[in-house]
Amino acid sequence: MANHVIGLLLGMEDDWPAAFESLVRRANLRVRAGGDEHTFDVRRVEIEPFRLRADPTHDLVIDRLAWWYQLPREWLKKLAMLNEVYLLNDPFTFQSMEKHTAYCAMMRLGMNIPETWMLPTKVGPDNERFAETARRYNRLFDLDAIADRIGYPLFMKPFDGGGWVGVTQVDSRAQLHAAYDASGQRLMHLQQAVLDYDVFVRGLSIGPQTRIMRYRPERPQHDRYDTAQGFLDDDMNTEMVMTGRVINAFFRWEFNSCECIVKHGVASPIDFANACPDVSLTSLHAHFPWAITALVKWSIFCAATGRRMALDMDKRRYFEIADRPGLDPRERLEAYFALSEAYFETERFEAFCATELRHVDEVAFEYFTSPAFDELLVATVLATFRPHEHEHFVAHYRRLMAHWATDAAGGSAATG
């Protein structure tokens, strides 16, 4: 008998961790793998000094904190480097490969990334060497000429951004200069805008599980995810699933979301380096049960089967496909996808779910329709919105969850 500890590295959130803990507890898992029986505990990680040589107490850690808090980030690096603890996600893959690197890599794979330029920072680094270095080597450049080459409208946004910070839509020369002047020391991209699109898609992937969601970036945060499913034709849906998973497998990202804009039937990925994305109840609502169930299944699979984190990237195998003559874009994507599915062990995972976790969807359905979950929903609304909004949003989210429950009861429970 082996017991595995799943750690949750958290900030202020209480919604998804509580749902995750409840689901694992209710599922009462005793899983057979590798000739042994496995049980699981979920523990929230506490921040304290740590000895670099200390033995790890977790078998797997899901991180939602290290993107802004340094000590836990360095703790994750120790776990990755010294202890090979399974991490969602490996911090190295995100620190060294942010948005800019991801654009370059996916351009190398032939994906339809909008035209993008990088600009020197408006204000140089605080370094005594900068003035003289700039005098010698920084060429004057014509910002307007670059924007004209890309064409208006365009977006100016940080090369490593997240959470829409510093993102500006630029429609004119005046806006271009205002945005550049405001960027200060931040390194910015200038990117062709894809507007008047058919649909904005967000694909949330957890291991080899992907939820394709319609996203409305123009709406307020609580209303950005549409509840609709099946809003793409089969072909485009498959393309979205494959695109997100290929990007994730390429970078060894296992909990990530991929934003794609589909216009005139052509998909352009625009933002796909979103480590451990927001999975809060108030943003995901009807997609929340899927996300939590998927996180539980993938964590249990990794912990029970002893799946190890990849140390290498295998980039060359992807590049060889990119360079293979005679493939059309779809064939190329399918060839990448074969690599990504091997990486995620999709078949083995699905077989594991069908045998060892076969009751989890049912337990999830019971939980997400239970009074206990409703309490969590109410507590989350109270913690998220202002007092005069409480009544409205409790009713709003109850309605969305009821909608989900009706759909799920007719389909495949929590994964429907």
Ligand X SMILES: Nc1ncnc2c1ncn2[C@@H]1O[C@H](COP(=O)(O)OP(=O)(O)O)[C@@H](O)[C@H]1O
> Which positions lie near ligand X, rule CB under 6 A?
114, 155, 157, 161-164, 167, 191-195, 217, 259, 261, 270-271
Closest CA relative to residue 85, chosen from 346, 342, 302: 302
SS3 7: strand
- Note the maximum CA span of the chain: 69
Beta-ladder partners of 38: 2, 31
Rg for the chain, CA atoms, rounded? 23
Residue (217 or 411) nearer to ligand X, CB: 217
CB of 189 to Mg ion, least distance (A): 13
* DSSP reduced 3-state for 204: strand
Closest approach of Cβ 23 to Mg ion, in Å?
A: 28
Q: Which is nearer to ligand X, 50 or 164 (CB)?
A: 164
- In the bound complex, what is the minimum distance in angstroms from residue 198's beta carbon to ligand X? 13
Shortest distance, position 279 Cβ to Mg ion, whole Å = 15
Nearest distance from C-beta of residue 158 to ligand X, angstroms: 7
Supply the minimum distance, in Å, between the C-beta of residue 380 and ligand X.
23
Stretch that binds Mg ion, among 129-137, 265-273, 317-325, 369-377 (CB under 5 A): 265-273
Which residue's CB atom is positioned nearest to Mg ion? 271
Of positions 13, 271, 356, 361, contacts Mg ion by CB under 5 A: 271
Q: Could you give the angle at the alpha carbon of 74 between the alpha carbons of 73 and 76, nearest 5°?
A: 65
Nearer to Mg ion, 6 or 102 (CB): 102
How far apart (Å, rounded) are the C-alpha atoms in residues 7 and 12? 16
Nearer to ligand X, 270 or 363 (CB): 270
Closest distance of CB 193 from ligand X, Å: 4
Nearer to ligand X, 110 or 153 (CB): 153
Q: Is 11 helix (H, G, I), strand (E, B) or coil?
A: coil
Residue 74: helix, strand or coil by DSSP? helix
Closest alpha carbon to 56 in 34, 33, 87: 87
Count CB neighbours of 328 within 10 A.
8
Residue 334 burial (C-beta neighbours within 10 Å; 0-12, 13-18, 19+): middle
Residue whose CB is less far from Mg ion, 278 or 341: 278
Q: Which of residues 337-396 bind Mg ion (CB under 5 A)?
A: none
Nearer to ligand X, 192 or 243 (CB): 192
CB-CB neighbours of 373 under 10 Å: 21
Q: Is 21 a binder of Mg ion (CB under 5 A)?
A: no
The listed partner (ligand X, Mg ion, none) that binds 167, CB under 5 to 8 Å by sort, is: ligand X
Q: Helix 329-344 crosses helix 346-355 at what angle (to 10 degrees)?
A: 50
Residues engaged in binding Mg ion (CB under 5 A): 271
